[in-house]
Protein backbone atom coordinates (compact mmCIF):
# COMPACT_ATOMS: atom_id res chain seq x y z
CA UNK A 1 0.00 0.00 0.00
CA UNK A 2 1.29 3.42 -0.93
CA UNK A 3 0.91 6.32 1.44
CA UNK A 4 1.46 8.81 -1.33
CA UNK A 5 0.96 8.73 -5.06
CA UNK A 6 1.06 12.07 -6.81
CA UNK A 7 2.99 14.52 -8.90
CA UNK A 8 5.94 16.25 -7.32
CA UNK A 9 8.25 18.49 -9.34
CA UNK A 10 6.58 17.32 -12.53
CA UNK A 11 7.19 13.65 -11.82
CA UNK A 12 4.84 10.88 -10.73
CA UNK A 13 5.97 9.82 -7.28
CA UNK A 14 4.84 6.83 -5.23
CA UNK A 15 5.96 6.41 -1.66
CA UNK A 16 5.42 3.98 1.18
CA UNK A 17 7.24 6.10 3.73
CA UNK A 18 6.42 9.62 4.83
CA UNK A 19 8.96 11.58 6.83
CA UNK A 20 7.79 14.51 8.94
CA UNK A 21 10.42 17.20 9.45
CA UNK A 22 10.38 20.59 11.12
CA UNK A 23 11.72 22.73 13.92
CA UNK A 24 11.33 21.60 17.54
CA UNK A 25 7.72 22.10 18.55
CA UNK A 26 6.36 22.08 15.01
CA UNK A 27 4.32 19.03 16.04
CA UNK A 28 6.08 16.17 14.24
CA UNK A 29 5.74 13.60 17.03
CA UNK A 30 2.15 14.53 17.92
CA UNK A 31 0.85 14.88 14.37
CA UNK A 32 2.66 11.75 13.18
CA UNK A 33 1.10 9.68 15.92
CA UNK A 34 -2.40 10.95 15.17
CA UNK A 35 -1.97 10.63 11.43
CA UNK A 36 -0.72 7.07 11.81
CA UNK A 37 -3.84 6.17 13.78
CA UNK A 38 -6.07 7.92 11.27
CA UNK A 39 -4.49 6.05 8.36
CA UNK A 40 -3.89 2.77 10.18
CA UNK A 41 -0.15 2.70 9.55
CA UNK A 42 2.91 2.24 11.74
CA UNK A 43 4.62 5.31 13.14
CA UNK A 44 8.23 5.41 14.28
CA UNK A 45 9.76 8.44 15.99
CA UNK A 46 13.54 8.61 15.52
CA UNK A 47 14.00 10.17 19.00
CA UNK A 48 12.04 7.34 20.62
CA UNK A 49 13.93 4.76 18.54
CA UNK A 50 17.22 6.22 19.84
CA UNK A 51 15.99 6.41 23.43
CA UNK A 52 14.93 2.77 23.31
CA UNK A 53 18.15 1.62 21.69
CA UNK A 54 20.34 3.44 24.21
CA UNK A 55 18.07 3.08 27.24
CA UNK A 56 18.49 6.78 27.95
CA UNK A 57 16.56 10.00 27.46
CA UNK A 58 17.70 12.40 24.72
CA UNK A 59 18.63 14.91 27.41
CA UNK A 60 20.98 12.39 29.05
CA UNK A 61 22.49 11.35 25.72
CA UNK A 62 23.34 14.96 24.89
CA UNK A 63 24.89 15.64 28.29
CA UNK A 64 26.73 12.33 28.64
CA UNK A 65 27.82 11.57 25.08
CA UNK A 66 27.46 14.85 23.20
CA UNK A 67 25.49 15.99 20.17
CA UNK A 68 27.73 14.18 17.63
CA UNK A 69 26.96 10.82 19.20
CA UNK A 70 23.24 11.57 19.02
CA UNK A 71 23.49 12.72 15.38
CA UNK A 72 25.21 9.45 14.40
CA UNK A 73 22.32 7.56 15.99
CA UNK A 74 19.83 9.62 14.00
CA UNK A 75 21.49 8.50 10.77
CA UNK A 76 21.50 4.90 12.04
CA UNK A 77 17.78 5.22 12.82
CA UNK A 78 17.01 6.42 9.30
CA UNK A 79 19.02 3.54 7.83
CA UNK A 80 17.51 0.90 10.11
CA UNK A 81 13.80 1.67 10.25
CA UNK A 82 12.44 -0.31 7.37
CA UNK A 83 8.85 -1.33 7.95
CA UNK A 84 6.41 -0.06 5.33
CA UNK A 85 4.00 1.58 4.90
CA UNK A 86 4.81 3.95 7.65
CA UNK A 87 5.23 7.45 8.96
CA UNK A 88 8.61 8.40 10.40
CA UNK A 89 8.67 11.40 12.69
CA UNK A 90 12.14 12.89 12.90
CA UNK A 91 14.03 15.10 15.34
CA UNK A 92 14.27 18.76 14.37
CA UNK A 93 17.98 18.54 13.55
CA UNK A 94 17.78 15.60 11.14
CA UNK A 95 18.03 17.90 8.12
CA UNK A 96 21.43 19.20 9.27
CA UNK A 97 23.20 16.25 7.66
CA UNK A 98 23.05 15.93 3.91
CA UNK A 99 23.31 12.14 4.21
CA UNK A 100 20.10 12.09 6.23
CA UNK A 101 18.29 14.15 3.62
CA UNK A 102 19.52 11.81 0.87
CA UNK A 103 18.23 8.75 2.75
CA UNK A 104 14.81 10.33 3.28
CA UNK A 105 14.51 11.48 -0.32
CA UNK A 106 15.51 8.08 -1.63
CA UNK A 107 13.21 6.07 0.64
CA UNK A 108 10.10 8.24 0.73
CA UNK A 109 8.68 11.71 0.68
CA UNK A 110 9.42 14.52 3.10
CA UNK A 111 6.66 16.66 4.54
CA UNK A 112 7.88 19.70 6.42
CA UNK A 113 5.61 20.86 9.21
CA UNK A 114 6.13 24.60 9.32
CA UNK A 115 5.22 26.79 12.27
CA UNK A 116 5.73 30.46 13.08
CA UNK A 117 8.43 30.93 15.69
CA UNK A 118 6.14 32.84 18.08
CA UNK A 119 3.83 29.84 18.18
CA UNK A 120 6.78 27.50 18.78
CA UNK A 121 7.63 29.57 21.86
CA UNK A 122 4.08 29.15 23.15
CA UNK A 123 3.99 25.42 22.47
CA UNK A 124 7.32 24.76 24.14
CA UNK A 125 7.10 27.17 27.08
CA UNK A 126 8.64 25.45 30.10
CA UNK A 127 9.82 22.44 28.09
CA UNK A 128 12.91 20.80 29.59
CA UNK A 129 13.26 17.78 27.35
CA UNK A 130 15.02 19.52 24.45
CA UNK A 131 18.69 20.11 25.30
CA UNK A 132 19.26 22.58 22.48
CA UNK A 133 16.64 24.95 23.88
CA UNK A 134 17.94 24.99 27.45
CA UNK A 135 19.78 28.13 28.57
CA UNK A 136 18.86 29.92 25.35
CA UNK A 137 16.86 33.12 25.17
CA UNK A 138 14.17 33.83 22.57
CA UNK A 139 16.59 35.72 20.33
CA UNK A 140 19.03 32.80 20.25
CA UNK A 141 16.27 30.30 19.51
CA UNK A 142 14.96 32.54 16.74
CA UNK A 143 18.46 32.68 15.24
CA UNK A 144 18.61 28.86 15.22
CA UNK A 145 15.12 28.78 13.70
CA UNK A 146 16.17 31.15 10.89
CA UNK A 147 19.43 29.28 10.25
CA UNK A 148 17.57 26.01 9.87
CA UNK A 149 14.67 27.39 7.84
CA UNK A 150 16.41 26.98 4.48
CA UNK A 151 17.34 23.38 5.30
CA UNK A 152 13.71 22.49 6.01
CA UNK A 153 12.55 24.22 2.86
CA UNK A 154 15.22 22.76 0.58
CA UNK A 155 14.78 19.20 1.80
CA UNK A 156 10.97 19.16 1.69
CA UNK A 157 8.77 17.66 -1.00
CA UNK A 158 5.76 19.31 0.60
CA UNK A 159 5.55 22.20 3.06
CA UNK A 160 2.52 22.20 5.33
CA UNK A 161 1.90 25.28 7.50
CA UNK A 162 0.57 24.31 10.93
CA UNK A 163 0.52 27.85 12.36
CA UNK A 164 -2.76 28.71 14.05
CA UNK A 165 -4.24 25.26 13.38
CA UNK A 166 -5.37 22.75 15.97
CA UNK A 167 -3.79 19.31 16.15
CA UNK A 168 -7.08 17.77 15.03
CA UNK A 169 -7.38 20.02 12.02
CA UNK A 170 -3.80 19.37 10.91
CA UNK A 171 -4.28 15.60 11.12
CA UNK A 172 -7.56 15.85 9.22
CA UNK A 173 -6.07 18.02 6.47
CA UNK A 174 -3.00 15.82 6.05
CA UNK A 175 -5.15 12.70 5.98
CA UNK A 176 -7.37 14.17 3.28
CA UNK A 177 -4.34 15.31 1.31
CA UNK A 178 -2.75 11.86 1.43
CA UNK A 179 -5.95 10.01 0.62
CA UNK A 180 -6.56 12.09 -2.45
CA UNK A 181 -2.95 11.61 -3.59
N1 LIG B 1 -1.06 22.45 16.22
C2 LIG B 1 -0.74 22.49 17.52
N3 LIG B 1 -1.40 23.33 18.33
C4 LIG B 1 -1.10 23.41 19.64
N5 LIG B 1 -0.16 22.67 20.25
C6 LIG B 1 0.53 21.81 19.48
C7 LIG B 1 0.28 21.67 18.09
N8 LIG B 1 1.11 20.73 17.59
C9 LIG B 1 1.86 20.31 18.63
N10 LIG B 1 1.51 20.94 19.77
C11 LIG B 1 2.10 20.76 21.10
O12 LIG B 1 3.43 21.23 21.03
C13 LIG B 1 4.29 20.43 21.82
C14 LIG B 1 5.41 19.89 20.93
O15 LIG B 1 4.85 18.95 20.01
P16 LIG B 1 5.71 17.75 19.43
O17 LIG B 1 4.81 16.87 18.70
O18 LIG B 1 6.54 17.15 20.51
O19 LIG B 1 6.66 18.53 18.43
P20 LIG B 1 8.00 18.07 17.73
O21 LIG B 1 8.03 16.58 17.72
O22 LIG B 1 7.93 18.65 16.36
O23 LIG B 1 9.10 18.69 18.54
C24 LIG B 1 3.42 19.34 22.44
O25 LIG B 1 3.04 19.76 23.74
C26 LIG B 1 2.19 19.30 21.52
O27 LIG B 1 1.04 18.89 22.19
O1 LIG C 1 16.18 20.15 16.68
C2 LIG C 1 17.01 19.39 17.23
O3 LIG C 1 18.22 19.45 16.98
C4 LIG C 1 16.48 18.35 18.16
C5 LIG C 1 15.14 18.10 18.19
C6 LIG C 1 14.53 17.14 19.11
O7 LIG C 1 13.36 16.53 18.54
P8 LIG C 1 11.98 17.32 18.28
O9 LIG C 1 12.18 18.13 17.02
O10 LIG C 1 10.97 16.26 18.13
O11 LIG C 1 11.77 18.20 19.44
C12 LIG C 1 15.55 16.05 19.48
O13 LIG C 1 15.84 15.27 18.35
C14 LIG C 1 16.80 16.66 20.02
O15 LIG C 1 16.50 17.32 21.21
C16 LIG C 1 17.47 17.61 19.01
MG1 LIG D 1 9.40 15.10 18.31
Arithmetic mean of pLDDT, 75-99: 96
Looking at residue 51, which CATH number applies to its domain? 3.40.50.300
Arithmetic mean of pLDDT, 75-96: 95
* CB of 36 closer than 6 angstroms to any ligand 2 atom: no
Q: Write out the residues surrounding ion ligand 3, Cβ under 5 A.
A: 28-29
Q: Please provide the average confidence, as pLDDT, over all residues in the chain.
A: 96
Domain that includes residue 52, residue range: 4-172
Q: Return the residue whose CA atom lies nearest to atom 13 of ligand 2.
A: 91
In a domain, 144, yes or no: yes
In a domain, 181, yes or no: no
Do you know the residue count of the chain?
A: 181
User: Is 9 marked within a binding site?
Assistant: no
In a domain, 82, yes or no: yes
Mean pLDDT is lowest, of 1-5, 34-38, 117-121, for 1-5
Arithmetic mean of pLDDT, 9-22: 95
Q: How many CB atoms lie within 10 A of CB 33?
A: 16
- What ipTM was predicted for this assembly? 0.99
Per-residue pLDDT at 95: 98
Span from the CA of 12 to the centroid of ligand 1 (angstroms): 32
The whole model's pTM is what?
0.98
Pocket test for ligand 1, best of 20, 23, 27 (most atoms within 8 A of CB): 27
Residue 118: which of 95, 150, 90, 145 has the closest Cα? 145
Residue 155: which of 82, 98, 117, 115 has the closest Cα? 98
In a domain, 177, yes or no: no
* CB of 30 closer than 6 angstroms to any ligand 1 atom: yes
* CB of 47 closer than 6 angstroms to any ligand 2 atom: yes
In a domain, 63, yes or no: yes
Gyration radius of the chain over CA positions: 16
Answer for the pair 100, 126: CB distance below 8 angstroms, yes or no.
no
User: Is 71 marked within a binding site?
Assistant: yes
In a domain, 72, yes or no: yes
Span from the CA of 14 to the centroid of ligand 3 (angstroms): 25
Span from the CA of 15 to the centroid of ligand 1 (angstroms): 25
Indicate the number of domains in the chain: 1
User: Is 26 marked within a binding site?
Assistant: yes
In a domain, 180, yes or no: no
* CB of 114 closer than 6 angstroms to any ligand 2 atom: no
In a domain, 178, yes or no: no
Amino acid sequence: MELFRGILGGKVVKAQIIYLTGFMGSGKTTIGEGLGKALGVTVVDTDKWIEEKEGKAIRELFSEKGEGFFRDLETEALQSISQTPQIITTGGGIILREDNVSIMKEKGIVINLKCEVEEIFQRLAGDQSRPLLQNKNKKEIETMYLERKKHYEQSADIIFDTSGKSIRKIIQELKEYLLKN
